[in-house]
Amino acid sequence: MDTLRVGLIGYGASGRGQHARMLRALGQRVTCVVTAEHGAAVREDWPRARVVPDVASMLATAASLDLVVVASPTTKHAEHTAQVLSAGVPAVVDKPLATTEHAATDLVRLATQHGGRLTVFLDRRWDPEQLTLAGLLERGELGRVHRFERRWERFRPVPLHRWKELDPAAGGLLQDLGSHLVDSAMQLFGPVTSVYAELRTLTTPALDDVFLALTHAAPADGPAVISHLQAGGLVGAPGPRTRVLGDKAAYLVTEFEEEPTPFEALDHRRGTPAHQGWLVRGSERVPVPSAPGDHLDLYRAIIRWVTDGGRPPVDPRDSIRVARVLDAARVSAKEGRAVHLT
């Protein structure tokens, strides 16, 4: 595997906690980091990396970079990504690509003008749960699916004090977890034709209580799938992580990344081979073998994309479609109606 010279914009929870960790695991080199607050952490993790105060300083030596990861706060994604693309360096942008459909479209257009070297870090496509469910659908084990439910809920009555909780425009669960939830639903069940949303702020200035009902384009041989997607920070009893209903069976996942859950007894795995959720028919439940894969596979694909060319591992146009749904959700919640997409 080639060793890339990587620049990181931002070294907080995302830049350090996700991207730098994965890059190190795959033997890549972080050679420059843009940060105003975390220089000591950079020098601890990457002693030979340059620490610079702004993106312009990083791109003054753009020829020394093979890849730039944009992991700054979401409100800065459009500005920082445009700078990187204009300098001719391939860019990986943490989700969401931008805060609106219009801004995401502008970035994809700019990327096209500069050779199309843009992709988006939608690592949840590589969740074992998502891959396992995709396999079930491909094999037809659920039959005709009519409803998809996914929840990203936790009990955090005292919220964290960071920009994601404090920025009403670019923070909040609609932009953060909602981007993953909508992308997952569209990857599995296709384009969205209408959006209904209930959005609230309970404990933070940014949205922290999110419910989306998406209607997907109906297939020729069955009903449209309706996706119910929920994200909340004040959920003392999180619901099942995933429930998919078909005319042959349901798929049920009751736990997620060791978060506390009231379903521990149901999902107790002692004596059960490694599995990812259950195939359920009434009182009958059968463990589903987990599909192989993890988030590092996305970075492996990114490295191949940078070194060998070809299609990006995540098409940035998918982020335009996600942003369109999130824009419609805001309109729906404000006006109390379903928004139909053309």
Can you give the pLDDT at residue 267? 60
Can you give the pLDDT at residue 269? 54
Angstrom distance (rounded) from CA 84 to CA 259: 36
Can you give the pLDDT at residue 1? 52
DSSP SS3 for 119: strand
Output the tens digit of pLDDT for each of the chain's 342 residues: 579 999 999 999 999 999 999 999 999 999 999 999 999 999 999 999 999 999 999 999 999 999 999 999 999 999 999 999 999 999 999 999 999 999 999 999 999 998 889 999 999 999 999 999 999 999 999 999 999 999 999 888 888 888 788 888 888 999 999 999 999 999 999 999 999 999 999 999 989 999 999 999 998 888 999 999 999 999 998 889 999 999 999 999 988 776 767 776 666 554 455 788 999 999 999 999 999 989 999 999 999 999 998 899 999 999 999 999 999 999 999 999 999 997
Residue 66 near residue 304 (C-beta atoms within 8 A): no
Can you give the pLDDT at residue 132? 96
CB atoms within 10 A of CB 185: 24
Q: pTM higher than 0.85 for the full model?
A: yes
Sign of CA dihedral 215, 217, 222, 227: negative
Can you give the pLDDT at residue 255? 80
Buried b (16+ CB within 10 A) or exposed e, 154-172: beeeebeeeebbebeebbb
Beta strand spans in 20-81 (E): 29-34, 50-52, 67-70
Can you give the pLDDT at residue 259? 72
Question: Could you give phi then psi for residue 68, rounded to 5 degrees?
Answer: -125, 135
Q: How many helical (H) and strand (E) elements, i.e. helices and strands, does the chain have?
A: 10, 15
Under CATH, domain 125-289 is a member of which superfamily? Dihydrodipicolinate Reductase; domain 2 (3.30.360.10)
Listed as own residue / partner, the contacts of 107-112 with beta carbons closer than 8 Å and 24 or more positions apart are: 107/78, 107/81, 107/82, 107/316, 108/316, 108/317, 108/319, 108/320, 110/82, 110/85, 110/86, 111/85, 111/316
Can you give the pLDDT at residue 272? 56
Beta bridge partners of 34: 9, 52
Distances (CA, A) of 54 to 9, 153, 222: 8, 35, 53
Query: Domain residue spans in the chain?
Result: 5-121+295-312, 125-289
Label the pairing between strands 145-153 and 226-232: parallel
Class of domain 5-121+295-312: alpha beta
Beta bridge partners of 30: 6
